[in-house]
Each structure stands twice: as C-alpha cells, then as structure tokens.
Amino acid sequence: MSITSLDKDYDNLALRIVLDFAHPLDAVWQLWADPRKLERWWGPPTYPATVEEHDLTPGGTVTYFMTGPEGDTHRGYLNVTEVIEGKSIEMIDGFAHDDGTPNAELPTTTMSVHLYDHDGGTRVEMQSTFDSREQMDQLVAMGMVEGIQEAAGQMDGILAT
Amino acid sequence: MLTYNQMVVDQWDDEGRVDHLFHALADATRRDILRRSVQGDLSVSRLAEAYPMSFAAVQKHVAVLERAGLVTKQRRGREQLVHTDPDAVRRAREALDHLESTWRARVDQMDLVLAGDAIAEEHTRAGHEKGQEE
C-alpha cells in the first residue's frame, strides 16, 4: 500500500487522500463495513477505538469510543448519509458527549470514501471536508490551514534564530 | 481527524483559545498582518497604511489576533508595536502536521488489518486443503 497523494484543498476546505492497496476491493471495503476491522484502524494506537453501534446504511449511525492511556474515553459518531455497497460512503464525523449524544459545540467534518479497482488492487479516494459551525467553521478551518501555510515560511526563519 | 481535533481542542481549550485562533486565521487581512509583524517593528498606524481600510478597522484586526495569542503589542514611546508570536504560529503549524500524521497512522493500521486478513485467509485455505487431503 502506498499513499499516492495527500493534499489540502483550500478552496473546498478539504483534506484529500488517495491510497492504493494491493488487496482486492472486497477486503478493503471490509475496513469500513466490518466494525471489528474499523475499530482496529480508526483510533491511534494509544487511543484504540471500540465501535458500538454500526449501521452502515443511509441514515444509519456508527458510534464509538476511544480509550486513552489513562483509561479516559472519548466518544464520537459517524452519521451515514449515503452508501453504495462496495463502492462509496458519505458520512458526517463528529464528537459525542459521554452519554453518546452528539456534541454540537465541537466541529464536524464530512467524509467521503470512494473505492474502485485499480491496477490489480484497490484505489481509495477519501476526502474530509470541514462543515460550517455557526459563523466559524468552513472559512475558519480553511483560514487555519492557509494561515499556517503562509505563516510557516516566515516563521521558519524566526524559529531558527 | 477526529482524534486529532479532539486532542487539539483539548489542548487549546485549556487556554480558551481554540475558537479565537480559528477565527483569527480565517481572514486574509489578519494573515497578512501576521506576516508583516514577524519583525515586530511596525506600529498599528504603520500597518494601517498598508491596507485600504480605516485605522480603526486595522486596529480591530490586530485586536482579534492579539486575543488569539498570535500577536503581542509592545509600547515603545508613543507607539504600540505589533509582534507576531512565534510560539502561537508554531503551535498552529504543528496542529496541521498532526492532522496529516493522524491520517498516515490510520493508513498504516489499515495496512496491518489487511495484512492480518491475508494471513488468516492463507491459514483457512491451508486448513481446508489439509482437511480435503485427509
């Protein structure tokens, strides 16, 4: 597998990743479709995820929590908006309160995943797009990315001295 | 990305700055002020000369940056000099790097899951073949 590309699309506020797997499409699809597999890659190694509800159908919800090194838990959810079996998923990715209800205070992202056969393996195109949250989000998240990029070059010199 | 966001939010919430930071960086004029203020030798009045807007408007932008912890103001004589805070900008840059590494880590783990599948299938198949031989 290799990350074929990873780029930040400032116009659309999106992080876009293209992956190429040497595995057949069915196996790659199971990374999302099988909750026991999803939880093995979703959280970072130090914050492993446990998937609870897993309804990968339009209107369905995936809920999970991640457990930190101190036993601390962080809940999140995926609201599934569109699914084409073995081909694509669109979902909204957000944080939840301890009781599992969505936390509207924290930003959400819309994630799309597209899979297709490519070169004897499977190509996955993923996109994460910041959603608007009140006045802030879309422009804000974009501004953060862009601002950092612009400022980074300037700051490198300063930090080096 | 969620994890990254959560951690960043946790980190910045401690200082009550995450909203301010996002808001501050969302505007092109403010990003430009940030760039121009790296040397820390420009006053608000001097900065205001660079933009087709009122002194008050530029002052407001500087205040937003200040609240986000991205710039500090230092009095020198009758002037207030605006200085970009390298730590704040570095922290923001690190956050972006973190976003990328979160996804890279996920992809690495996807690989492990898929590799595990392939091995398990191999075993199953070997088991079946063995079973058939017997």
Please state, in angstroms and rounded to a whole number, the distance separating the CA atoms of residues A17 and A127. Answer: 6
Contacts of A59 (CB under 8 A, 6+ apart): A80, A81
With beta carbons under 8 A apart, name residues in chain A contacting B5: 95, 106-107, 109
Cross-chain residue pair A19–B107, CB shorter than 8 Å: yes
B67 touches A: beta carbon within 8 Å = no
What is the structure's pLDDT at B99? Answer: 61
The mean pLDDT value for B28-50 works out to 87
What is the structure's pLDDT at B36? Answer: 86
Cross-chain residue pair A74–B6, CB shorter than 8 Å: yes
Phi, psi of B31 (to 5 degrees): -65, -35
The mean pLDDT value for B32-42 works out to 85
What is the structure's pLDDT at A156? Answer: 36
B25 touches A: beta carbon within 8 Å = yes
Which among A100, A92, A37 is positioned nearest to A63, based on CA atoms? A100
Give 10-residue mean pLDDT values along chain A (161 residues): 73 73 92 94 87 96 91 91 96 86 76 94 85 39 40 36 33
Rounded to the nearest 10 degrees, the angle between the axes of helix B18-25 and helix B2-13 is 110
Which among B76, B86, B55 is positioned nearest to A159, based on CA atoms? B86
What is the structure's pLDDT at A115? Answer: 96
The mean pLDDT value for B24-44 works out to 83
End-to-end CA distance of chain A: 40
With beta carbons under 8 A apart, name residues in chain A contacting B100: 6, 15
What is the structure's pLDDT at A16? Answer: 81
The mean pLDDT value for B25-47 works out to 85
What is the structure's pLDDT at B9? Answer: 44
B16 pLDDT band, cuts 50/70/90, is very low
Between B99 and A4, whose confidence is greater? Answer: A4
What is the structure's pLDDT at A7? Answer: 77
B14 pLDDT band, cuts 50/70/90, is very low
With beta carbons under 8 A apart, name residues in chain A contacting B22: 136-137, 140-141, 143-144
Mean residue pLDDT of chain B comes to: 74
Q: Which residue of A has its CA nearest to B19?
A: A136
The Cα of A155 is separated from the nearest Cα of chain B by a number of Å equal to 6
The mean pLDDT value for B58-85 works out to 87
Cross-chain residue pair B99–A15, CB shorter than 8 Å: yes
Please state, in angstroms and rounded to a whole number, the distance separating the CA atoms of residues B64 and B70. Answer: 9
Please state, in angstroms and rounded to a whole number, the distance separating the CA atoms of residues B124 and B88. Answer: 54
B109 touches A: beta carbon within 8 Å = yes
Cross-chain residue pair B3–A151, CB shorter than 8 Å: no
What are the distances in angstroms from CA B13 to CA A144, A148, B84?
16, 19, 21
Cross-chain residue pair B114–A140, CB shorter than 8 Å: no
